[in-house]
Amino acid sequence: MVEQKKPALYLAEYDTPNAIAKAAMKVRDAGYQKWDCHTPYALHGMDEAMGLKPSKIGFISFFFGMLGVATAVFMMKYMNAWDFDFLDLGWGYPIIVGGKPPGSFPWMVPIMFELGVLFCGIATLFGLLGIIKLPRHNHPIFESERFEAATDDKFFISIEAEDQKFDLDRTKALLESTDPTHLELVEQEVA
């Protein structure tokens, strides 16, 4: 059977941060949606050049951080202060040490903080991977030989074929007008 291929994305290569920033502004103004800049390190100022809104990952971190604090309070109250059986975990009961009230606040602070940080950290990691949809090892962009330099010292813009405005000729013309050092059409196999 002959392998069938279809265009996946255009990949334009640039040498300098300024070149890719200017090109990105052009692509942004042309109204593309499914496109991206690939850089070896985080380029500051690219959010503006690409017209991106600020990341909202902080909401995830905050929510789970607070959830961690609440979990800590519940756990400690259940195990050291309240008196009932929760979900058949084993009966919680008050533990009185040094004659102090079993459910008082001050001694709970360290663990409230630690569990808050723990939940927040884990949620931030998985929230990040969820938002940026990684791990993903089969992206068609890896078909390009030249793309290996994207983690070294070259800067790339990719415009995906799935973008509504994508057109083999017009997109190519747009990218050519940004003076890339190299421009290629990356193809992927049709399943």
Sites for another protein among residues 101-160 (CB under 8 A):
107-108, 110-111, 113-115, 117-118, 120-122, 124-125, 127-129, 131-132, 134-139, 141-142, 147-153, 156
Under 8 Å between Cβ of 157 and 179: no
Shortest CB 42 distance to another protein, Å: 4
Q: How far, in Å, are 34, 72, 94, 191 from residue 102 at the CA level? A: 57, 15, 6, 63
For the chain, the straight-line distance linking the first and the last C-alpha, in angstroms and rounded, comes to 12
Mark residues 49-68: x for contact with another protein by CB under 8 A, - for none.
xx-x-xx-xx--x---x---
Contacts with another protein in 158-187 (CB under 8 A)? none
What does the alpha-carbon distance between residue 165 and residue 34 come to, in Å, rounded to a whole number?
Answer: 9
Compute the CA torsion angle 33, 39, 42, 47 (nearest 10 deg).
-20
Shortest CB 58 distance to another protein, Å: 6
3-state secondary structure of 46: helix
For 23: left if phi > 0, alpha if psi spans -120 to 50, otherwise beta; the answer is alpha
Give the nearer residue to another protein in terms of CB position, either 156 or 166. 156
Interface residue with another protein, options 3, 44, 105, 191 (CB under 8 A): 44
Binding of another protein at residue 18 (CB under 8 A)? yes
Shortest CB 158 distance to another protein, Å: 8
Contacts with another protein in 69-108 (CB under 8 A)? 75-76, 79-80, 89-93, 95, 97-98, 100, 107-108
